[in-house]
Amino acid sequence: MAAEATIIGAGTIGLGWTALFLARGLRVRVNSRRADAERVVREGLELFAPTIPGGGADPEELVTRLRIEPDLDRALDGADVVQENAPENLELKRELFGKVAAAAPPDALLLSSTSTFLPEDIGADLPDPRRVLVGHPFNPAHLIPLVEVVAAEGADPRLAERAVAFYRELGKTPIVLDHGINGFVANRLQSALLRESIHLVRSGVVTVEQLDAVVVNSIGLRWSTVGPFQSFHLGGGPGGLRHWLSHLGAGLEKGWAGLGSPPMDEQTVRTLIDQADQAFAGRTYEQLAAERDARHTAVLRALAELGEGDATR
């Protein structure tokens, strides 16, 4: 198992990884040029430690393996794994990974949290651009199991296998995409649902608050337990997806044609913001985020306690 990790960037995602890596026993160097990095990381650990999957962690214990290292070369010296969380700017990430590859050991695992770019683009300044992998987490990164792993085209398959093994040791659920696609998988699905959500609010069928309640009380609950294909497989009864598609498959395209394509004009944005202001009034970001994380934790624990501890089926 990896022992020495370097985390580049101390934003929300970087802090989530830092908390999780430390809780799993890694020594972590956080590379950040922020003057207040020490304070920001400590606050992040205090925020995330209680909801580290598996029962939480003690922030005082975590910091014993933590070092803040503003110098990139020193942060990378002897690293087994590097998880980069710089802003979503391709030029910046390219230049950064050029330096990372030069300063880190030649067999260090080089991972980017990017939600946008392909690994071969991020690795373009390396002698071998295929050395960089995408390891895209879902916010909050310490808590949501999914990591989308994307290797560069033509990369040695063992590279993705190493990334998968590393994330599994952290307790994550890594999924290797066959090839990169803009937005990867989860964010594309999220975007598809958001488009129709905005259409329905814009059309006045439901409010922002009602839309959220519909999702939490139906498909959200369902998809926390089985994915969409297994849902429809079961919807087909004993005949499964085959039966379901033979009965409803033809209607799918027709249904899709009737879905919305809302313009994000001023009026739409105003409607969404006004209704969100109303829906979430009187509760701060910290309150709402803490509630969300407590719920995530409760759901994950409940599913893990069911026995097999495998929430993917």
Q: Between residue 206 and residue 265, which ones bind a second copy under the rule CB under 8 A?
A: 206, 208-230, 232-235, 237-238, 240-242, 245, 249-250, 252-253, 255-256, 258-259, 261, 263-264
Question: Among positive and negative, which fits the CA dihedral 44, 47, 53, 55?
Answer: positive
Interacting stretch for a second copy, rule CB under 8 A, among 49-57, 61-69, 125-133, 275-283? 275-283
Binding string to a second copy for residues 116 to 145, with x set by CB under 8 A, is what? ----------------------xx----xx
Binding flag, residue 87, a second copy (CB under 8 A): no
Which of 130, 146, 162, 202 binds a second copy (CB under 8 A)? It is: 146
Which of 182, 202, 278, 282 binds a second copy (CB under 8 A)? It is: 182
Binding flag, residue 168, a second copy (CB under 8 A): no
Structure token digits, residue 128 = 């071998």
Residue with smaller CB distance to a second copy, 9 or 103 = 9
Binding flag, residue 90, a second copy (CB under 8 A): no
Binding flag, residue 102, a second copy (CB under 8 A): no
- Residues between 12 and 31 that touch a second copy (CB under 8 A): 12
Q: Are 131 and 153 in contact (CB under 8 A)?
A: no
